[in-house]
């Protein structure tokens, strides 16, 4: 078994130092928002986004005027992509059924899927206007039936981006704020004098947004840790260096700290792809960003076998995993830790990011080991219920409950059961004693 790293990124210890500095900055800013509310949010918006206005919420007239600036062809494309996201989210929602069952006569058990009552959607947009993130968070929340959907997006070049605002509005947001970064996430979660706090935060973002969500988790729910984008290409000699290099750099341009990994069993494909990346970086308009990500976070790993590639891929648990091999479905059947799979050379991560319909808010930093990405189910809470409809069932279940509670030493619990055995079963159980087995005939 041989696994060779032709290129490695920053050491884990160095990345941990970066994370610690980010965490300290975020904690200080969140404390300021909690203490000073709107005043802190205003100061932070001016400091980080150079955006100053009395209220950061857009009113209906502003929204209409901003959307009117969107080219009709662009608006049609936005609607096409959003419809694909809605269709897939609706199919997912339709798979989630309320249930009710009667495991024994007179005992009814069930669960209901209830929408979260308010959600704050973060739509990134300071560096690039992330139109698609509005579909993924806002439109999906709308399909789930969330009654209050608010969205925050930063200004782009000093003003609200028309395409982003259009996508947020068409997605179904009830409140739109032109706020970015930690101040946006903090205001939605903690609340201010003018912004009521939400129950759930969703949406991707940079390292500071992801860390803010992590620190706020518990006070509010979050979808997942969706930090700087990650991509992995799993490839063999069925594809060439051009497509591998193009797909790696397509995600590296997201930011300066976007991990991108080529995992292959072909040393030739590995070295050719590295050379092709160097060539493309000389002509890519976003090379200033992509080059830093590739130099600091890029990796090229060569394995001997497909089984080794599978093992390494599951260990890395990358956000986006593009598989281009002679056995793509084998990886689909066997991979267990990832954000989303993109199978075959005909598709690519950009399709998933922008238009195809699956959600692009996905787990990063190995969170794919324990969670999938954002989907309509994240906006729903599954709550169970029970009821007993007959005296016989109340006495029967109560007798079992009495004895099992006392087995654990809970007398007060047992008496909750015993009082039902006495009232509905007509059996005089002494206080704090176990109900007799005769009071609980097997159904």
For residue range 42-63, list pLDDT tens digits in order: 999 999 999 999 999 999 999 9
Choosing from 230, 276, 319, 415, which is the catalytic residue?
A: 319
CA distance linking residue 28 with residue 183, whole number of Å: 11
- pLDDT at position 439, please? 53
- pLDDT at position 434, please? 97
Q: Residue 319 catalytic?
A: yes
Q: Find out if CATH 3.30.420.270 is the number for domain 228-373.
A: no
Does the annotation list 122 as a binding residue?
A: yes
CA distance linking residue 26 with residue 256, whole number of Å: 19
Q: Can you list the residues of the chain whose pLDDT is less than 70?
A: 1, 15, 438-443
Q: What is the pLDDT of residues 87-132, one digit of tens each?
A: 999 999 999 999 999 999 999 999 999 999 999 999 998 788 999 9
- pLDDT at position 441, please? 47
- pLDDT at position 178, please? 98
Choosing from 320, 360, 383, 415, which is the catalytic residue?
A: 320
- pLDDT at position 18, please? 76
Q: Residue 175 catalytic?
A: no
Does the annotation list 320 as a binding residue?
A: yes
Does the annotation list 360 as a binding residue?
A: no
E-strand ranges in 11-125 read 99-104, 107-115, 119-122
> Which of 286, 283, 285, 224 shows the shortest CA–CA distance to 252?
286
Q: Where are the domains of the chain?
A: 18-95+113-223, 228-373, 390-437
Tokens coding 129: 């206007």
> Do 228-373 and 18-95+113-223 have the same topology in CATH?
yes
Q: What is the pTM of this model?
A: 0.90
CA distance linking residue 42 with residue 183, whole number of Å: 9
Does the annotation list 183 as a binding residue?
A: yes
CATH topology of domain 18-95+113-223: Rossmann fold (3.40.50)
Length of the chain, please?
A: 443
């Amino acid at each position: 078994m041989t696994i060779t790293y032709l290129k490695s990124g920053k050491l884990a210890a160095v990345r941990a130092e970066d994370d610690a500095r980010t965490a300290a900055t975020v904690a200080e800013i969140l404390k300021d928002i909690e203490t000073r509310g709107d005043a802190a949010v205003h100061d932070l918006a001016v400091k980080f986004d150079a955006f100053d206005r009395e209220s950061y919420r857009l009113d209906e007239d502003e929204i209409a005027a901003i959307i009117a600036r969107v080219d009709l062809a662009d608006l049609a494309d936005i609607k096409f992509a959003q419809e694909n996201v809605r269709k897939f989210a609706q199919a997912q929602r339709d798979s989630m059924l309320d249930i009710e069952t009667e495991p024994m006569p007179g005992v009814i058990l069930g669960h209901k899927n209830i929408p979260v009552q308010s959600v704050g959607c973060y739509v990134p947009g300071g560096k690039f206007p992330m139109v698609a993130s509005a579909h993924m968070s806002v439109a999906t929340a709308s399909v789930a039936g969330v009654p209050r959907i608010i969205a925050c997006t930063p200004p782009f070049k000093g003003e609200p981006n028309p395409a982003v605002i259009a996508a947020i509005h068409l997605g179904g947001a009830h409140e739109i704020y032109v706020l970015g970064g930690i101040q946006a996430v903090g205001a939605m979660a903690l609340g201010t004098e003018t912004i009521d706090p939400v129950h759930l935060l969703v949406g991707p973002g940079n390292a500071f947004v992801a860390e803010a969500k992590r620190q706020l988790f518990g006070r509010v729910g979050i979808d997942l840790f969706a930090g700087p984008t990650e991509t992995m290409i799993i490839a063999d000699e069925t594809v060439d260096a051009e497509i591998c290099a193009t797909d790696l750099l397509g995600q590296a341009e997201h930011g300066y700290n976007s991990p991108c990994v080529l995992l292959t069993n072909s040393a030739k494909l590995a070295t050719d792809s590295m050379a092709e990346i160097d060539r493309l970086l000389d002509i890519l308009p976003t090379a200033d960003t992509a080059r830093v990500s590739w130099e600091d976070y890029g990796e090229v790993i060569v394995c001997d076998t497909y089984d080794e590639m599978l093992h390494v891929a599951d260990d890395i648990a990358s956000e986006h995993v593009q598989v281009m091999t002679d056995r793509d479905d084998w990886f689909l059947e066997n991979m267990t830790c990832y954000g989303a799979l993109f199978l075959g050379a005909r598709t690519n991560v950009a399709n998933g990011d922008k238009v195809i319909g699956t959600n692009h808010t996905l787990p990063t930093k190995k969170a794919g080991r324990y969670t999938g990405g954002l989907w309509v189910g994240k906006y729903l809470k599954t709550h169970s219920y029970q009821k007993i409809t007959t005296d016989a069932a109340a006495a029967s279940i109560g007798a079992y409950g009495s004895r099992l509670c006392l087995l654990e030493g809970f007398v007060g619990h047992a008496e909750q059961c015993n009082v039902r055995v006495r009232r509905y079963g007509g059996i005089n159980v002494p206080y704090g004693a176990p109900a007799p087995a005769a009071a609980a005939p097997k159904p």
